[in-house]
A and B are shown apart, each in its own frame.
Chain A
Amino acid sequence: NAGVTQTPKFRILKIGQSMTLQCAQDMNHNYMYWYRQDPGMGLKLIYYSVGAGITDKGEVPNGYNVSRSTTEDFPLRLELAAPSQTSVYFCASSYPDKASSSYNSPLHFGNGTRLTVT
């Protein structure tokens, strides 16, 4: 099983450029998440989605946009990249289908995208 796949693995952007980080999962998980991890720090939640067509802001959503048109894909869009967005970005997904019984489901993480903005 591929699990959660993130592309690209590495990217260097110039200030002001835009890009989309791709995330796909093949586990039929309803919930998907985007986190960023700054050097030596913990993970901060950017956006998350509980199903196709539904997204919510996390702790640090400014400067990012997401969409969820299918169960499998959850791309993260960076508009007007800034040096403060230099980070490692992790996509994750979790089961199950019903929100009321989801609190014991661990997240399955992708391997991350290392982004540098200069």
Chain B
Amino acid sequence: AQKITQTQPGMFVQEKEAVTLDCTYDTSDQSYGLFWYKQPSSGEMIFLIYQGSYDEQNATEGRYSLNFQKARKSANLVISASQLGDSAMYFCAMRELGPSGGYNKLIFGAGTRLAVHP
């Protein structure tokens, strides 16, 4: 069963504008972690931001913030003041319980390709 859904295969945004990348997830666990990663055209995976299921405040890291709506099971990434260097693939991921009972499996969504236009 699919656990992470990113419904936007591609997104366009004008430089200096804000953009929201959608992510919904499916889990029956009470404790879980949600992550966003950036993959530029060079291919490396860059960790951006994390949100824990018990965190009451939305996570923020510089120009990145995470709009966490637990009841709706959504964890959207908001990038403010977009820059040309933000053009990349963005992946949402969730850490869920492994068979040994520990939180050790990180499952990724299919990704959203963001293009920032000057």
The A-B contact count (CB < 8 A) is: 74
A residues near B109, Cβ cutoff 8 Å = 42
Q: B84 on the interface (CB 8 Å rule)?
A: no
CB distance from B21 to the nearest CB of A (A): 13
Q: A111 on the interface (CB 8 Å rule)?
A: yes
CB distance from B79 to the nearest CB of A (A): 18
Q: A45 on the interface (CB 8 Å rule)?
A: yes
Q: B91 on the interface (CB 8 Å rule)?
A: yes
Q: B100 on the interface (CB 8 Å rule)?
A: yes
Q: B105 on the interface (CB 8 Å rule)?
A: yes
A103 and B91 contacting across the interface, CB-CB below 8 Å: no
Q: Mark B79-105, 1 if CB is under 8 A from A, else 0.
A: 000000000000100010011111111
B105 and A45 contacting across the interface, CB-CB below 8 Å: yes
B residues near A56, Cβ cutoff 8 Å = 98-100
Q: B62 on the interface (CB 8 Å rule)?
A: no
- State the CA gap A109–B110 with chains docked (Å): 18
Given contacts A41-B111, A103-B31, A112-B43, contact A48 B105 (CB under 8 A): yes
A residues near B52, Cβ cutoff 8 Å = 103-104
Q: A58 on the interface (CB 8 Å rule)?
A: yes
B103 and A42 contacting across the interface, CB-CB below 8 Å: no
B102 and A45 contacting across the interface, CB-CB below 8 Å: no
A residues near B105, Cβ cutoff 8 Å = 45, 48, 58
A residues near B47, Cβ cutoff 8 Å = 106-108
Of the A-B pairs whose beta carbons lie under 8 Å apart in the complex, a sample of 12, sorted by A's number, is A35-B108, A41-B110, A45-B107, A45-B108, A54-B100, A56-B99, A56-B100, A59-B107, A90-B45, A99-B102, A103-B52, A107-B47
B: residues with CB less than 8 A from A are 6, 31-33, 35, 43-45, 47, 50, 52, 91, 95, 98-111
A: residues with CB less than 8 A from B are 31, 33, 35, 41-45, 48, 50, 54, 56, 58-59, 88, 90, 92, 94, 98-100, 102-104, 106-109, 111-112
